[in-house]
Amino acid sequence: MLKIAVLVSGDGSNLQAIIDSIENGYLNCSIEAVISDNIKSFALQRATKKGIPIYVFPKKEFGESIGDEILKVVKGNVDILVLAGFLSLLKGEILKKFEGKIINIHPSLIPLFCGKGMYGEKVHESVLKSGVKITGCTVHFVDEKVDGGAIILQKAVPVYFEDDVKTLKERVLEEEHKILPEALKLLSENKIFIKDGKVQIV
Ligand code: GRF
């Protein structure tokens, strides 16, 4: 069984999608830890309700060393780290120790609307401002570049003229909640390989 840790900063709807996918038998995974950089993250309540161990390393206190603290928790206990709305950047040793074993969900079609400073609602604001008619979401591996690792899965979502951030975010989240569990399922079944910086699904 794939052992995962889920890193969160906010609402945790993606964490909930993983929990639901495990409970309904879609995913053969166990969530060993939910880790947050924000004590106010509602995701922590979702985890506590399910008896999942939680760890909090507040951003202000830990700053750039947060990756080292997380590594202490997950080393030897976890196969995959899932960044599900986690707003701190992981740096240093953890990226080496978990190379090819950290995935992130991003609310746009990478390489569009991503990179430094492009997170949360800012992504949807930029999408709406640009006038594009299609956006979406991406699950990708994490490396030292922000939103730069190999792309695992993407799903396109239409953008309507009448959309605001709330309606667009909801439509994108609906797809996020499908492709994040799907990516974990593929990983748990050893169906994902990285070749020349690209993901091959077998
Ligand atoms: C999602 O849109 C995710 O793509 C982005 O942050 C948001 C987190 O939402 N990285 P939630 O906390 O899972 O509800």
Work out the average pLDDT over 182-198. 96
Work out the average pLDDT over 24-43. 98
User: Does ligand 1 have an atom closer than 6 angstroms to the CB of 84?
Assistant: yes
Comparing C-alpha atoms, which of 119, 54, 39 is closest to residue 87?
A: 119
φ, ψ at 45 (rounded to 5°): -70, -40
Comparing C-alpha atoms, which of 69, 111, 74 is closest to residue 88?
A: 69
Residue 105 CA, closest ligand 1 atom number? 4
What CATH code is carried by the domain that includes residue 189? Answer: 3.40.50.170
> What is the pLDDT of the chain when averaged over all its residues?
97
Would you state the pLDDT for residue 9? Answer: 97
Work out the average pLDDT over 175-200. 97
- The 10s digit of each residue's pLDDT in 128-174 is 999 999 999 999 999 988 888 999 999 999 999 999 999 999 999 99
Q: Has residue 193 got a pLDDT over 90?
A: yes
User: Does ligand 1 have an atom closer than 6 angstroms to the CB of 36?
Assistant: no
Helix (H) or strand (E) holding 36: strand 29-36
Residue 77 CB neighbour total at 10 angstroms: 10
Work out the average pLDDT over 171-192. 98
The domain containing residue 176 runs over which residues? 2-201
- Judge whether 140 counts as a catalytic residue: no
Helix (H) or strand (E) holding 178: helix 165-188
Would you state the pLDDT for residue 192? Answer: 97
User: Does ligand 1 have an atom closer than 6 angstroms to the CB of 124?
Assistant: no
* Test site for ligand 1: of 42, 173, 175, 177, most ligand atoms within 8 A of the Cβ: 173
Q: Is 113 left (phi over 0), alpha (psi -120 to 50) or beta?
A: left
**Residue 19 alpha carbon to ligand 1 centre in Å:** 15
Residue 133 CB neighbour total at 10 angstroms: 9
DSSP 8-state secondary structure symbol assigned to residue 8 = E
Q: State the helix-helix crossing angle for 165-188 and 13-23, rounded to 10 degrees.
A: 40
- Domain total in the chain: 1
Q: Which residue has the tokens 């979406």?
A: 136
Whether pTM exceeds 0.95: yes
